[in-house]
Structure 1
C-alpha cells in the first residue's frame, strides 16, 4: 500500500525539481523534437515560486511536484510532474482531486499549459478541463468550479 504525502518546497529544492522535470518531461519533449535540457532547466528556474510549490512523496520518496500559483482571476497550475515510475498509479488523479477541491473552495478557475499531443491532455479532459487555445507547441486548458 502506498502512502502519499505533501510538503512545501523551498529554494533548496530547485536542483532536484529541475532533475525531476527533465525526467518527467523528456519523453513528451522528445516526441515533438523539442527536448533541450538547458531550455527546460531555464524555464523551470524562471517560473519557480517555492512558496506556491508542493513536493509529492510516495512512501517517503520524492516522486513529483506541482505549483498552484495565484493569479488575478484564476489559479495557474504549473510544473505538475510525476516521476515515470509512479505515473499511471492514480497519484496524479488524487493530487488533481485535491487541487480541484481547493479551487472549488476558493471559487477560482484553474488554467494550465501542456504540450500538444501529450497524454496529459486526455488526463486533464477526464477531470473536466477544456481546451481554450493552442499554438504550434502548447495547449492551454481551463477548469471552472462552475461547470
Structure 2
C-alpha cells in the first residue's frame, strides 16, 4: 500500500474533486444511462461541505476525497472517490477502515449509497456494509458499529 495522508478539504479543492467525481463515476453512470457531463460535476458542487470532507494525498499529490456527514440516526459516507491510478493499492480500504473505526468508537451507524453495478460495493461489503434498500440507480447500504476498534483515525 502506498503512503497516504488526509487533510481537511477547502473550497479551493472543489474543482479537482468535481473533476475526479466525473472521471470515477462516468462508466457506471453511462452504463445506467445517467451520465451528463455538466450534471455530474454540478451535483458535487451543490452538495460540497468542506467541513465534512477530507482530501486524500499520496506523496503530496491529490489522490481522492471522502466525506462523513452527521445525520439524525447515522453518519453518511459520501463523495468517496479515488483517482484510478491510485485504486487497487489498499488506500481506499485504509481510508475506509480509519473512518469506520472512528464511527465504531462513537457507536455510530454508517450509511451510504453506491451505484448499481459499481465495483465499490465489494469494498463496502468487505467492511461490513449490508444492503438496506435499493432503487433503479442506487443501492443504499448500512453498517452497524463494531464493538472493538483500535486503528488511528482520520478527520473527515
Return the TM-score normalized by structure 1: 0.95
| Residue 44 of structure 1: how far off its partner (Å) | 0.6
Aligned-partner SS, 1:95: helix
Deviations 1:51-102 (A, max 9, x none): 1100000111101000000111110001000001111110000001101111
Higher relative contact order, chain-length normalized (CA < 8 Å, sep 6+): 2
Corresponding residue of 1:84: 84
Corresponding residue of 1:128: 128
Alignment map for 1:35-54 (pairs within 5 Å):
35-54=35-54
| Residue 139 of structure 1: how far off its partner (Å) | 0.5
| Residue 146 of structure 1: how far off its partner (Å) | 4.4
Is residue 2:101 matched to residue 1:98? no
Equivalences, count: 147
| Residue 118 of structure 1: how far off its partner (Å) | 0.9
Deviates more, 1:30-39 or 1:85-94: 30-39
Q: CA RMSD in A?
A: 1.3
Output the CA distance in 2 between the equivalents of 1:62 and 1:98: 19
Corresponding residue of 1:61: 61
Instruction: Specify which structure has the higher proportion of helix.
Output: 1
Corresponding residue of 2:141: 141
| Residue 37 of structure 1: how far off its partner (Å) | 1.9
